[in-house]
Amino acid sequence: MSYKSQRAKDTDISPKVKAIVYERDKGKCIVCGRPGIPNAHYKRRSQGGLGIEQNVVTLCLRCHEDFDNGFKRKEIENYIHDYLKSIYGASWCEEDLIYNKWKNFKFK
């Protein structure tokens, strides 16, 4: 796949990450338990949310729609936050979920 920018590449969810998240979430929506798809960014892609397993969860179509379109955005966002925090513990940091082109830049 060809990307127009590094940000586009870094925010995309790779097949490898989707497989890891699908297995981690047992193929079920983490909110309601129905069968789901591992393609929901906790931190939105449009806001630089990375396509990494610490920022991606499995949601069913209904919960993903509610999450994306704000019907239950805050409620689902809080649930996802608590879910990811319970899995990754103290090492999980929301700042690490956002694209930052300067993160690895070294000043001379």
Domain tally, the chain: 1
- 104 is a domain residue: no
pLDDT for the residue numbered 34? 98
- 103 is a domain residue: no
Q: How far apart are CA 38 and CA 18, in angstroms?
A: 5
Per-position pLDDT tens, the chain of length 108: 666 787 878 789 999 999 999 999 999 999 999 999 999 999 998 899 999 999 999 999 999 999 999 778 999 999 999 999 999 999 999 999 998 876 655 556
Q: How far apart are CA 106 and CA 88, in angstroms?
A: 28
pLDDT for the residue numbered 73? 92
pLDDT for the residue numbered 39? 95
- 55 is a domain residue: yes
Residues 6+ apart with CB under 8 A from 67: 40, 59, 73, 76, 77, 80
Q: Domain residues for 36?
A: 11-97
Instruction: Give the dihedral sign, CA 18/91/100/78.
Output: positive
User: Could you tell me the two tokens for 21?
Assistant: 């998240």
- 4 is a domain residue: no
- 1 is a domain residue: no
- 93 is a domain residue: yes
